[in-house]
Amino acid sequence: MTETVLEPTVELRDIPDFNTLIDNIQKTINNAWNIGNKIHKPSIDKWLENFTGEALCREDKSDIMEAVKKEKQIALFLLCNFVYYNEDEIKYLVRVMLDNYAHTIFSQECKSTVTNVDFTELISSSQFTFLGNISESSSYLLYHFRQENDLSKQCFSESPTIKNIVFIDDFSITGSQAKDYIQKKINNPTWDKNKRIFVLLMIATNDAINVINEIEGITVLPCIVLDEKSKAFSPTSTVFSGYNTKWVDEAKRMCEYYGKNLVTIKNGMTSLGFGGSGYMFGAYYNIPDNTLPIFWSSQNNWNYLFKRYDKKYGVSGSNLGGRYV
């Protein structure tokens, strides 16, 4: 008789209680994010006031007080899992981006050793440029890229000696905007077809990388790659790994309930962010709209925790006149 060996059962746990989460997030803000001067206890309390229990309470609201506590507990848990890139981390990542580029080039050339002369020749034959409009985050990242890598301003100017055009961008989740921008550039009759194209991305998804790679002859070099595990509510999410499944179900229901009133649901925008991604990350200078709107939206008097700067097209700023009176 064959003996059946039973696999040990893993007991799924509950998320930490409210007080533990408050303590954890305050330590994270002060010690990891280093933004204790920007986000402090009163601002977190104000953000938590958004969660009124209406998303998780019964239809007759007989359990509204219990639902309020649960929603605030879940909101804090999500905040504890938010990935925030402060200025020092962004400066580190732009150095890694250049390292990735140099490593790729020298690997293609099968160089076993690289001298200072080799590196200088590579930099002098490369033009680094932003990906998108000049006033957007890509050009801001380019500023850090120049400073942290100690590059000359000439590295960002057109020159007959340039062999490689290197586009730089911070976040690429779908890849569509990057692809359209580059495609438009190379379709210009004045574009030199002999120049190689590289795209250095600070944070990207596999989907975005694949979309940009549809352009023939392009090389995409991501610094950080996001996958399904990075999404808050995906089946493989690391956020709720090991926790009772009721928590991910209730958290998603809560975010969808509030999120539908925090954004305009059209053109790919959903209650869980653009494309329904449900990501939870951002940088000190902006938050992508692919992240959960409960973190950044100010629509319908929502008290946001992280300020997001939307792209504005056309003439704007007419409401600022009073500043100069």
Please check whether residue 136 is in contact with residue 143, taking contact to mean a CB–CB distance below 8 angstroms: no
CA distance 284 to 292: 16
What would the 3-class secondary structure string for 191-230 be? CCCCCEEEEEEEEEEHHHHHHHCCCCCEEEEEEEEECHHH
The pLDDT of residue 117 is 94
CB-based contact 172:203 (threshold 8 Å): yes
Q: Which two tokens stand for residue 232?
A: 């808050």
* pLDDT the model gives residue 210: 97
Which CATH number is associated with domain 87-228?
Answer: 3.40.50
3-state secondary structure of 164: strand
Alpha-carbon distance 104 to 166, whole Å?
A: 13
DSSP state of 13: B
For the stretch 14-24, pLDDT in tens is 999 999 999 99
State the CB neighbour count (10 A cutoff) for residue 289. 21
* Region for 132 from its dihedrals, namely left if φ exceeds 0, alpha if ψ lies in -120 to 50, beta otherwise: left
Q: How confident is the model at residue 12, as a pLDDT?
A: 84
pLDDT for the residue numbered 4: 58
What is the model's pLDDT at position 111?
A: 82
Indicate the domain borders of the chain. Answer: 18-81+232-301, 87-228
The segments of the chain whose pLDDT lies below 50 read: 318, 320-325
Q: Given the structure tokens 């954890």, which residue do they identify?
A: 24
SS3 call for 50 = coil
Q: In what order do the strands lie in the sheet with 196-205?
A: 126-130, 164-172, 196-205, 218-226
Q: What is the pTM of this model?
A: 0.90
